[in-house]
Chains A and B, each alone.
Chain A
Amino acid sequence: MSGSDLATAFAADDPAFVPYLAVGDPSYEASQAYVEALAEGGADAIELGLPFSEPIAEGPTIQEAIVRALDAGMTPERFFEFVEDLDVDVPLVCMTYYNLLYQYGEVDEGERRPRPFVERAAEAGISGFVVPDLPAEEAGPLREACDEFGLDLISIVAPTTEDERLERLVDVSSGYLYVQARLGVTGTDVGAADRTAESLERLAEYDLPKAVGFGIDGGEKAADVIEAGADGIIVGSALVEIVADGHERDRSTAAVAADLEELARELKTGARRGYERRVPRPEGS
């Protein structure tokens, strides 16, 4: 299974910080500035949400971001332009829902979807995909297209994913595993028990990097997750809340970007702190 440059985001001795934003929220230009601020703040890879009308894996915060982005005119084609316009040098992951991959472009006789989408994404500079509504059983065509164009397919592992399915899931995955810290949908408002440690233990035998997401809202949480053994953290809603608040209060793009960069630094620093707690520094260093 071939892979992209995503592996570089997960260094052996530096936990990865992977932020998420909905692309085009609340406008194309502001969103560009926000993504660049996250890179500036220490992101090791960035998940770019391509808005879909039926985001069943998202909690209210990201649902609302998606509505703002769609209302502002975001489409798959605009998304690719957005990626091309970005001035960042970390790997970019496209997070979206399968129907958008499935419908994109013209499909020739005998050709299988979602190849045209993957080809276009590769050309724009995307390194991998997260597709929450695509079960491993149906991932074959996307996996093949990813292999063809050298992209990664990242799978989400829930605390309830049965062991027998886990194997199949890991089989079609590359880049990293997106480990859900708890049951449910994205959001910082945690309704279900955190099961990070339990999940990481179940996944220990697989050597893909494990990035934990769902409900990480600040440096302390980030530290805890990394201390529990994760190779990286994924943070969405806490960042999107800053964007939402900026939009509601009509703040300047620069002010919102500065706050995003600050939270990004806090999260990256927190992750490092967690790593140090886990691996005590050798004497004298």
Chain B
Amino acid sequence: MPAIRELEDAYERYVLNNEDGFVDEFRRRIEDFGGRPTPLQYAENLSARYDTDVYLKREDLLHGGAHKLNNALGQVLLAKYMGKERIIAETGAGQHGTATAMAAAHLDMPCEIYMGERDITRQRPNVFRMKLNGAEVVPVTTGRGTLKEAISETMRDWATTVEETHYVIGSIVGPHPFPTMVRDFHALISEEARAQLHERAGQLPDAVLACAGGGSNTMGTFHHFVDDEDVGLYAVEAGGSSLAVDEEEGVAPNSASLSTGTEGVLHGARTKLLQDGDGQIVESHSVSSGLDYAGVGPELAHLVDEGRVQPVNVDDDAALEGFHRLSQREGIIPALETAHAFGYLEEHHDDLGDVVVVNVSGRGDKDLAAALEETEQRDLSNAPDMGEFSGGM
């Protein structure tokens, strides 16, 4: 990683030490442009259903429709402070690409987004959103064309252009200082949630739930609770269609690296990975492209090893039912990634205590076509009947 030293230095000066008022400017912009703070909403209907106080941290209401802007805006602003002239990023679901494109337009920086071919088809509306914001979208054709390949390809671009370009990595993955820095930008989520719950209920939650792909919304939601040892932290991964790894095909039909992965080295980080016995990284799978990654942030993997964070998962079906449930019961259409947390809440609400905070990492507008298609292929308990309107969207 060619520019890591330069970035480490900038991270220390601007993000940790607020040099030139970086942190002040970041906080001002994430309020004015981003719409922070996001609400902590009491979910009346789910609370009644589970006989548990369920609070929703509404990152879906952040500009762009997902938590992603916290990090994207932070890093694009940092790139400005570093004197960089060009932004690149990878994207899976397209949410990070969209957030980065928005932040780049806002801060007047040219921007290119690498996206796997397969994800481009799965997430067309987000491709258009990136282009609307003036970003270039570069299709990645290697491998299965998902997030893992997009990260590799962005790293290759960066190796060539590092002197004028900053790579806005999209989760708490990659080489140091990315994982800590990305977490710091997202830590606003738990900073606010902790204070908001205190004001509302005068207490700490018993459990905090967040979905986990790379783990950025997860660590953002956990960070300010990590020292509160009585607060249970649950990272909900994508169990996909099965938790097994098919070594022959080099495919894991899940993205549950915290729950089932083994320690290894990928993209400059030592962490838990989905890999075969030789150490080849296998292709992950999830109904939600944003969780579709064979690795996970090293800090989150470490907290799991220490027993501080519980790694849990739900399968594609439970996530889709969670998607429909939150839509029907609370009037909030969540991202398919987020829906995993609600799948887990449904199955395990009895074990989580009296007060639960769930991070709504994003809204589901980007997922409508995929959700319809995936729903039609299944016999879900709670899906609306779209039969009379068939013919697609």
Contacts and interface: CB of A to CB of B under 8 A. Distances in A.
B126 interface: no
Interface in B178-194: none
Given A160-B163, A183-B160, A184-B160, A56 B280 contact: no
B159 A183 contact: yes
B265 A102 contact: yes
A70 B2 contact: no
Interface in B251-297: 264-268, 273, 275, 277-282
Nearest to A183: B160
Contact of B2 (A59, A97, A160): A160
A161 interface: yes
Interface string B124-151: 0000000000000000001100001000
Interface residues on A, range: 20 to 34
Contacts of A8: none
Nearest to B153: A56
Interface in B1-53: 1-5
B152 interface: yes
A98 B282 CA distance: 16
B265 to A, nearest CB: 5
A161 B152 CA distance: 20
A281 to B, nearest CB: 39
A185 interface: yes
A184 B159 contact: yes
A103 B156 contact: no
A103 B264 CA distance: 7
B309 interface: no
Contacts of B161: 183, 192
Contacts of A135: 1, 4, 175, 268
Nearest to B142: A63
Nearest to A104: B279
A141 to B, nearest CB: 12
A162 interface: yes
A97 B264 CA distance: 11
A112 to B, nearest CB: 13
Contact of A103 (B1, B159, B163, B278): B278
A113 to B, nearest CB: 9
A179 B10 CA distance: 27
Nearest to A97: B265
A184 B148 CA distance: 19
A75 B264 CA distance: 17
Contacts of A162: 5
A185 B275 contact: no
A160 B162 contact: yes
B250 interface: yes
A100 B279 contact: yes
A54 B2 contact: no
Contacts of A192: 160-161
B155 interface: yes
Interface string A41-65: 0000000000011111111000100
Contacts of A53: 143, 250, 280-282
Contact of A99 (B142, B162, B265): B265
B267 A99 contact: no
Contacts of A54: 148, 152, 266-267, 281
Contact of A52 (B142, B148, B280): B280
A97 B143 CA distance: 17
B21 to A, nearest CB: 27
A166 to B, nearest CB: 11
A277 interface: no
Interface in A137-179: 158, 160-162, 165
A99 B5 contact: no
Contacts of A29: none
A185 B280 contact: no
Contacts of B275: 99, 103
B265 A185 contact: no
A78 B60 CA distance: 49
Contact of A184 (B142, B156, B265, B266): B156
Contact of B160 (A67, A102, A191): A191
Contacts of B1: 135
A183 B250 CA distance: 32
Contact of A185 (B159, B267, B281, B282): B159
A58 B264 CA distance: 20
A104 B303 CA distance: 26
Q: Which 6 A-B pairs have the closest CB atoms?
A: A103-B279, A184-B160, A99-B279, A53-B280, A99-B265, A160-B2
8 contacts: A99-B266, A135-B4, A135-B268, A184-B156, A184-B159, A185-B156, A192-B160, A192-B161
Interface of A: 52-59, 63, 67, 70, 75-77, 97-100, 102-104, 133, 135, 158, 160-162, 165, 183-185, 191-192
Given A54-B148, A104-B279, A158-B159, 8 more contacts: A56-B267, A57-B159, A63-B142, A99-B279, A100-B279, A104-B278, A160-B162, A160-B163
Interface of B: 1-5, 142-143, 148, 152, 155-156, 159-163, 175, 250, 264-268, 273, 275, 277-282
